[in-house]
């Protein structure tokens, strides 16, 4: 087995924490990071001293505030959330349904903001959650506007399935992505759960580059898609303008066509 570098061992300690394991003992960290207890103890001590980890009175470790402070500097993280939040709140007030903001990280969508409707459909989403691109409305938008080579590789599969309605066929996914580009929105139905439908639209930055996607998730049974599309588009355009996108200046980049899209994910 090749010797792991010091940065790799250090990052493996941080990677031991996730949403299912937010609090870990030293033994847990050692096991999940694949390190000896001695090595884990040394690295955890260094990370705790710096503030990346914190140790509670019971001896269990948590992610520290210092790491959160550094992560907040990510331009696609807290900064984007702060710009987008007023527009997400407006979208929530217009629909009283789940509102989401997401970015792409490799072959996954990462949710960076989520406003939950009090009586809206349940979703398997939280800030920091990841899902395959093809199985969500925001993911379809992000994939549809990705690099052609990346789209080719992604559509070649394998494509994970979550319900009988999840798109798992490469040619069908290609057709769906073409429709998303034509329509300017993605309408995604019952791909993650049987009862949810989402409408998603692209968020653009200066020059028209795609930086994120915004969506609203509603009960599939009584979804008023023609009403939701303009509301989601308005929120996406508002965030885009706040980020510096000027459609009159960036003519031809990210032009949005009329309403309509194929079935997809929530």
Percent of the residues in the chain that have a pLDDT greater than 90, as a whole number: 61
Looking at the predicted structure, is the pLDDT value of residue 39 above 50?
Answer: yes
User: Which burial class, exposed, middle or buried, applies to 6 when counting CB atoms under 10 A from its CB (0-12, 13-18, 19+)?
Assistant: exposed
> At residue 184, does pLDDT exceed 50?
yes
Mean pLDDT of 94-102: 92
Closest CA to 217 of 205, 225, 207: 225
The model carries a pTM of 0.71
Mean pLDDT of all residues in 59-76: 80
**Domains of the chain with bracketed CATH:** 6-70 (1.10.10.10), 78-242 (3.30.450.40)
The pLDDT of residue 128 is above 50? yes
**Rounded CA separation 171/21 (Å):** 37
* pLDDT value of position 250: 56
> Is 182 or 68 the better-scoring residue by pLDDT?
182
Please tell me the distance from the alpha carbon of residue 53 to that of residue 143, in angstroms, as a whole number.
34
Mean pLDDT of the residues in the chain: 86
pLDDT over threshold 60, residue 254? no
How far apart are alpha carbons 208 and 111 in whole angstroms?
21
- Stretch 232-237: mean pLDDT, rounded? 96
Contact 266, 197 (CB under 8 A): yes
Question: Who has greater pLDDT, 123 or 218?
Answer: 218
pLDDT value of position 155: 95
- Residue 211: its H or E element: strand 210-219
């Amino acid at each position: 087995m090749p010797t792991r570098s010091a940065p790799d061992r250090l990052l493996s300690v941080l990677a031991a924490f996730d949403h299912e394991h937010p609090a870990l003992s030293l033994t847990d960290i050692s096991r999940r990071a694949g390190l000896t207890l001695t090595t884990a103890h040394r690295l955890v001590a260094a990370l705790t001293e710096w503030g990346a980890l914190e140790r509670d009175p019971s001896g269990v470790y948590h992610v520290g505030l210092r790491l959160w402070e550094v992560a907040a500097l990510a331009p696609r993280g807290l900064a984007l959330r702060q710009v987008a939040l007023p527009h997400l709140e407006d979208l929530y007030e217009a629909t009283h349904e789940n509102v989401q903001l997401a970015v792409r990280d490799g072959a996954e969508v990462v949710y960076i903001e989520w406003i939950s409707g009090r009586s809206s459909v349940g979703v398997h989403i939280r800030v920091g959650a990841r899902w395959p691109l093809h199985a969500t409305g925001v993911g379809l938008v992000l994939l549809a506007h990705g690099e052609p080579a990346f789209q080719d590789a992604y559509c070649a599969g394998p494509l994970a399935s979550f319900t009988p309605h999840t798109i798992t066929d490469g040619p069908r996914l290609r057709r769906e992505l073409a429709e998303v580009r034509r329509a300017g929105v993605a309408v995604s139905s019952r791909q993650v759960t049987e009862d949810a439908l989402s409408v998603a639209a692209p968020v653009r930055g200066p020059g028209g580059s795609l930086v994120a996607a915004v969506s609203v998730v509603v009960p599939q049974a009584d979804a008023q898609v023609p009403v939701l599309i303009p509301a989601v588009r308005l929120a996406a355009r508002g965030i885009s303008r706040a980020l510096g996108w000027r459609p009159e200046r960036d003519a031809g980049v990210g032009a949005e066509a009329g309403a309509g899209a194929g079935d997809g994910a929530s």
